[in-house]
Amino acid sequence: MKKIVVLTGAGMSAESGISTFRGGNGLWDEYPVEQVATPEGYRANPALVLEFYNKRRRQLFDVVPNRGHELVAELEKHFNVTVITQNVDNLHERAGSSNIIHLHGELMKVCSSREPYNEDYIKVLDKDNLDIKIGDKAADGSQLRPFIVWFGEAVPKIEDAIKAIEGVDAFIVIGTSLNVYPAAGLLNYVPHGVPVYLIDPNDVPVSSVIDVTHIRKGASEGMQLLLELLLSKLK
């Protein structure tokens, strides 16, 4: 079975109503990145950071996966698919994708402030217990914090993502500006000659040495076109 890797960013979930961070009316316009998405911001005002992610978490239950998410999941009927996502929502899971690498963490999880990536201290929240407040403790006694990879922190899953690209037959990029590293650097690991498909209505900077087919559509419309193309080319 042919192997496909899909890299998704904020544009993947925008059609579902999830606020993007960049662009017009993005979350960074309302909340400076330094305040809510850095270790320094968390240390300076943990209550603000916790509430920021509480709000993002609540929003998840007001939205549903869009057709783009569903079509990415449908790829699994025909191909061996790995989704590498920069998004922290759970819309890929809810759409039915089964093999997902979350590069930047997961909104529905919280963890230890002392050891964020220690599996023993990671807790999955449910719909009835979405909010974390000051005083809520992880099993090691430290304050629970969002299981989010903030700017300035290491990206533990990047090695898994690089390994997933080995032997790939096609690489798909959906709805990411390719401005955030190390995720943007994953294109450099795509083997020479492997087709790269970019779904985004906007211009996205891509190295001139990479041959990219740019489908200038949103996630849903672009994935519909691409699925038909892949079925004709890779089957």
Domains and CATH numbers, the chain: 1-17+66-104+155-235 (3.40.50.1220), 19-62+107-148 (3.30.1600.10)
Q: Is the pLDDT of residue 212 over 80?
A: yes
Type of residue found at 107 = L
Reference 102, options 120, 121, 122, 78; nearest CA is 122
> What is the predicted pLDDT for the residue at 233?
76
Instruction: Give the C-alpha separation, 213 to 1, whole Å.
Output: 22
Active site residue 78: no
* pLDDT tens-digit series, residues 119-170: 999 999 998 889 999 999 999 999 999 999 999 999 999 999 999 999 999 9
Q: Is the pLDDT of residue 217 over 50?
A: yes
Q: Which of 69, 92, 104, 214 is catalytic?
A: 104
Residues 6+ apart with CB under 8 A from 112: 118, 121, 122, 138, 139, 140, 142, 144, 145
> What is the predicted pLDDT for the residue at 26?
45
DSSP labels, 158-193:
HHHHHHHHTT-SEEEEES--S-STTGGGGGGGSPTT
Contact 215, 226 (CB under 8 A): yes
Q: Is the pLDDT of residue 210 over 80?
A: no
Structure tokens at 98: 């089964």
- Return the higher-pLDDT residue of 25 and 177: 177
Contact 147, 111 (CB under 8 A): yes
> What is the predicted pLDDT for the residue at 77?
94
Instruction: Give the C-alpha separation, 128 to 23, whole Å.
Output: 32
Q: Is the pLDDT of residue 43 over 90?
A: yes
Structure tokens at 78: 């025909």
Per cent of the chain over pLDDT 90 is 70
> What is the predicted pLDDT for the residue at 197?
94
> What is the predicted pLDDT for the residue at 121?
97
Mean pLDDT over 86-114 rounds to 96
Angle (CA) 116-11-106 rounded to 5° is 20
